[in-house]
């Protein structure tokens, strides 16, 4: 594994940097987000800016990750570990496979279980639409896209406005929320559009 080349890619859907492990809850959130999407790798001992800091105790870091994966994730997650030295600094690479038992839940500080999903370089709380994406992600038969007038209207709108909400899409196509949601889920799984979620809203853009 070329760790420097991997770091140069920057954080994204399948890669996350952690300078150190500070809490079981935070690491569980990242593990679950990867497992619920395409899987991914955590580089422990690498700062957010990509600088290599190294881990002080790989045994301690490994123990915390295993504890998070088994006790703070439901169903439990089985991480794989690899130790790589860069300029005498140890980077712990934690690999998470895409799960066949989605959705996975992470336990937070208030002892509540939540589902997270990896979008770009963030582990975000799953909405109803993302829950459908996660559940349908277990389907190995693939996703067939049929471009109807509804999809055409969606991409024309995105071409002009750049983003759209479920409410706007439903209104645009004069379809029910349920039907509009079904189309968006299909397009997210197919990698054609990307979800964005903040505390205030959820919207969608082209990839």
Instruction: List the structure tokens of 76.
Output: 């439990």
Query: Which among 99, 125, 151 is the end of a domain?
Result: 125
pTM for the model:
0.87
Within 10 Å of residue 71's Cβ, how many Cβ atoms? 12
| Burial (CB count within 10 angstroms: exposed 0-12, middle 13-18, buried 19+), residue 130 | buried
pLDDT band at 147 (very low <50, low <70, confident <90, very high): confident
Query: Which among 98, 125, 152 is the end of a domain?
Result: 125
Mean pLDDT of 122-150: 81
Residue with token string 């909400």: 165
Whether residue 142 sits in one domain with residue 66: no
| Torsion-angle region of 133 (φ positive above 0: left; ψ -120 to 50: alpha; else: beta) | alpha
Whether residue 106 sits in one domain with residue 13: yes
CATH classification at residue 183: 1.10.10.10
Q: Measure Cα distances from 131 to 40, 48, 88, 139, 200 in Å.
A: 19, 28, 42, 14, 18
What integer pLDDT is reported at residue 115 of this predicted model?
Answer: 97
Instruction: State which H helix or E strand residue 159 sits in.
Output: helix 149-161
Q: Could you read off the pLDDT of 25-67 as tens digits, one per residue?
A: 999 999 999 999 999 999 999 999 999 999 988 889 999 999 9
Instruction: Say whether the peptide bond before residue 75 is cis (omega within 30 degrees of 0).
Output: yes
Whether residue 94 sits in one domain with residue 146: no
Query: Which among 125, 157, 187 is the end of a domain?
Result: 125
Instruction: List the structure tokens of 5.
Output: 């080349």
Q: Could you read off the pLDDT of 74-95 as tens digits, one per residue?
A: 999 999 999 999 989 999 999 9
What integer pLDDT is reported at residue 139 of this predicted model?
Answer: 66
| Torsion-angle region of 29 (φ positive above 0: left; ψ -120 to 50: alpha; else: beta) | alpha
Residue 27 counted as domain residue: yes
Whether residue 20 sits in one domain with residue 120: yes
Can you list the alpha helix ranges (DSSP code H) found in 1-95? 3-9, 24-35, 58-71
What integer pLDDT is reported at residue 57 of this predicted model?
Answer: 83
d(CA 10, CA 195): 20
Within 10 Å of residue 19's Cβ, how many Cβ atoms? 17
Residue 75 counted as domain residue: yes
Residue 130 counted as domain residue: no
* Residues of the domain holding 190: 135-206
């Amino acid at each position: 594994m070329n760790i420097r080349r991997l770091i140069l890619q920057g954080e994204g859907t399948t890669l996350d940097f952690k300078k150190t492990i500070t809490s079981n809850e935070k690491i569980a959130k990242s593990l679950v987000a990867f497992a619920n999407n395409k899987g991914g790798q955590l580089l422990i001992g690498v700062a957010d800016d990509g600088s290599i800091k190294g881990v002080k105790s790989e045994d301690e870091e490994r123990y915390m990750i295993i504890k998070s994966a088994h006790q703070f994730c439901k169903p439990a997650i089985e991480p794989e570990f690899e130790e790589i030295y860069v300029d005498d600094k140890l980077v712990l690479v934690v690999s998470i496979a895409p799960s066949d038992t989605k959705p996975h839940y992470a336990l937070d500080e208030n002892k509540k279980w939540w589902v997270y999903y990896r979008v770009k370089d963030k582990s975000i709380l799953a909405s109803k639409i993302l829950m459908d994406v996660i559940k349908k992600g277990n389907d190995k038969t693939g996703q067939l896209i049929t471009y109807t007038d509804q999809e055409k209207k969606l991409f024309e709108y995105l071409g002009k406005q750049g983003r759209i909400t479920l409410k706007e899409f439903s209104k645009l196509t004069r379809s029910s929320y349920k039907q509009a949601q079904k189309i968006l889920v299909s397009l997210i799984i197919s990698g054609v559009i990307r979800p964005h979620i903040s505390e205030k809203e959820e919207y969608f853009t082209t990839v």
